[in-house]
């Protein structure tokens, strides 16, 4: 039993569960959703024919066909390319995203000894405050559904995801192709520009919540939707909707970070040649997949910071509590509901990103730079300053 619990509590188990049960299936499904959703938005049917025998699943199997196709393609390295860096670039694009997932709390803390009982919220809070969790029989061996809990949580995300930037740039450079190089430069200039406003937009939230640690941010938000990150500045009588502004700026910058339309100058799949023009087969497939994993990750960060993470509205540790009305639920039901809520929120924000991608046309490069440096950055800075002033004087 102890061994089982320690295995379950190990970061590797959680990472495998998170990546293989949530992230990879979602990213693969997104390749399907991208096509079917865009079709539905444009009054078409979209691909619905891929099948294994009679099993069609509304075309979901297309991603299997895609994968098989990419495996079967010629793995071509252009003459003159830097072979090592050419091979490294796709890995650099996808690995940072997988690593960054470790800071995301994808579910609540599980107390395996009271799975089928209603948790006593008062005792739990006392135990947490007195740091006597392990001494309390019911709360021993707690499993926190967050892989890496550090004080500098979201800074870790910014630091790691910056590395994905190198993936695009190196891919462009190592291809020994002028157009790929130009695409890589467009990618790096765009990602550099938007990383600034992306980071600064969250600083206001950091100030309001007083923490950088995603788990603590989720705890700060709690199950009441009016206390979630987006509502900072609305409920406390503050004069500025800091949360809404931060959300809009962060969301815009994050879409630019994923290098997808309307910010897809680095690739410009159909018109301008992008940084992975020389890539074929699975190497290209990894870039493709990295893009979708990034979408999932952005959705996870937005969920965590602005929309209460795994919290279901009004669902506390022991059950629903709403305006004096209480419904007690066993711990395992609460945990399952909360993990499900996290998944659904992530799915929703993935859907929203796809909807935006199929709504807007591509920006011009000068519009892109103007939006990034002259609109988002000042807004993020002012938002941060207002949050700081409020934190000092309010």
Partner 1 sequence: MAKQHAEPQTPPHSRAEVVSVSEANPKVRTIRVARPAREESSFLPATLKGLAITVKHFFKNVTTKADIETISYPEEKPPYPARHRGLHRLMKREDDTVRCVACMCCPTVCPADCITIIPAETDDDGVEKYPAVFEIDELRCVVCGLCVEACPCDAIRMDSGLHAPAVEERQDGIITKDEMLALGGRSIAVQGGISEEWRQDQPQNPRDEFPHDREGAPYGRPAKTWRNQS
Contact flag: residue 37 with partner 1 (CB under 8 A) = yes
Q: Is 245 helix (H, G, I), strand (E, B) or coil?
A: helix
The answer to the question of residue 190 lying near partner 1 (CB under 8 A) is no
Nearer to partner 1, 138 or 356 (CB): 356
Nearer of residues 314 and 358 to partner 1, judged by Cβ: 358
The reply on whether position 192 binds partner 1 by CB under 8 A is no
Residue 16 touches partner 1, criterion: CB under 8 A: no
> Which of these segments, 38-46, 114-122, 170-178, 337-345, binds partner 1 (CB under 8 A)?
38-46
**Two tokens, residue 385:** 């300053």
Question: In the set 326, 375, 378, 385, which binds partner 1 (CB under 8 A)?
Answer: 375
Binders of partner 1 in range 242-281 (CB under 8 A): 248
Decide: is 40 part of the binding site for partner 1 (CB under 8 A).
Answer: yes
Q: Which is nearer to partner 1, 44 or 125 (CB)?
A: 44
Q: Which two tokens stand for residue 98?
A: 């997988």
Among 45, 226, 336, 385, binds partner 1 (CB under 8 A): 45
Residue 56 contacts partner 1 per CB under 8 A: no
Under the binding rule (CB under 8 A), the answer on residue 58 touching partner 1 is no
Give the closest residue to 306 by CA, choosing from 200, 231, 229: 229
Site for partner 1 contains 356 (CB under 8 A): yes
Query: How far apart are CB 41 and partner 1 at their closest, in Å?
Result: 4
By beta-carbon proximity to partner 1, the closer residue of 41 and 326 is 41
**Residue 68: what are its φ and ψ, rounded to 5°?**
-60, -40
Contact pick of 52, 355, 385, 389 for partner 1 (by CB under 8 A): 355
CA–CA distance, 43 with 123 (Å, rounded to integer): 55
Residue 358, interface with partner 1 (CB under 8 A)? yes
Taking the C-alpha atoms of residue 220 and residue 285, their distance in angstroms, rounded to an integer, is 39
Helix axes 242-257, 331-357, angle to 10 degrees: 60
Whether 311 contacts 341, CB under 8 Å: yes
CA 248, 251, 254, 260 torsion-angle sign: negative
Q: How far apart are CA 186 and CA 203, in angstroms?
A: 26
Q: Per rule CB under 8 A, is residue 121 in the interface with partner 1?
A: no
Q: What are phi and psi of 207, to 5 degrees?
A: -65, -45
SS3 143: strand
């Amino acid at each position: 039993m102890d061994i089982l619990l320690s295995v379950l509590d190990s970061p590797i188990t959680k990472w495998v569960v998170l990546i293989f049960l949530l992230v990879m299936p979602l990213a693969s499904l997104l390749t399907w959703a991208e096509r079917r959703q865009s079709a539905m938005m444009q009054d078409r049917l979209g691909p619905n024919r891929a099948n294994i025998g009679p099993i069609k699943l509304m075309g979901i199997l297309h991603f299997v066909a895609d994968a098989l196709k990419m495996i079967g393609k010629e793995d071509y390295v252009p003459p003159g390319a830097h072979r090592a860096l050419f091979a490294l670039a796709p890995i650099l694009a996808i690995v940072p995203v997988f690593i960054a997932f470790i800071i995301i709390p994808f579910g609540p803390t599980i107390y395996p000894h009271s799975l089928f009982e209603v948790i006593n919220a008062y005792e739990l809070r006392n135990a947490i405050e007195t740091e006597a969790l392990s001494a309390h029989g019911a709360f021993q061996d707690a499993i926190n559904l967050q892989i890496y809990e550090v004080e500098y949580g979201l800074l870790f995300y910014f630091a790691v995801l910056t590395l994905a930037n190198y993936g695009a740039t190196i891919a462009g450079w190592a291809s020994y192709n002028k157009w790929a190089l130009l695409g890589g430069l467009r990618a790096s200039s765009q990602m550099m520009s938007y990383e600034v406003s992306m980071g600064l937009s969250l600083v206001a939230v950091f100030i309001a919540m007083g923490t950088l640690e995603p788990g603590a941010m989720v705890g700060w938000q709690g199950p009441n939707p009016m206390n979630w990150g987006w509502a900072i500045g609305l409920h406390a009588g503050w004069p500025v909707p800091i949360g809404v502004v931060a959300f809009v700026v962060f969301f815009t910058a994050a879409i630019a970070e994923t290098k997808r339309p309307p910010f897809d100058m680095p690739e410009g799949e159909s018109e301008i040649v992008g940084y992975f023009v020389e890539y074929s087969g699975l190497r290209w497939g990894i870039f493709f997949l990295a893009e979708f994993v990034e979408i999932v990750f952005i959705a996870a960060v937005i969920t965590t910071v602005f929309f209460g993470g795994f919290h279901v509205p009004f669902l506390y540790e022991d059950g629903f509590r709403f305006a004096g009305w209480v419904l007690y639920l066993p711990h395992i039901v609460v945990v399952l509901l909360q993990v499900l809520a996290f998944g659904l929120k992530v799915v929703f924000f993935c859907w929203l990103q796809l909807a935006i991608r199929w709504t807007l046309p591509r920006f011009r490069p000068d519009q892109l730079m103007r939006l990034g440096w002259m609109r988002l950055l000042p807004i993020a800075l002012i938002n941060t300053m207002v949050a700081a002033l409020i934190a000092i004087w309010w």
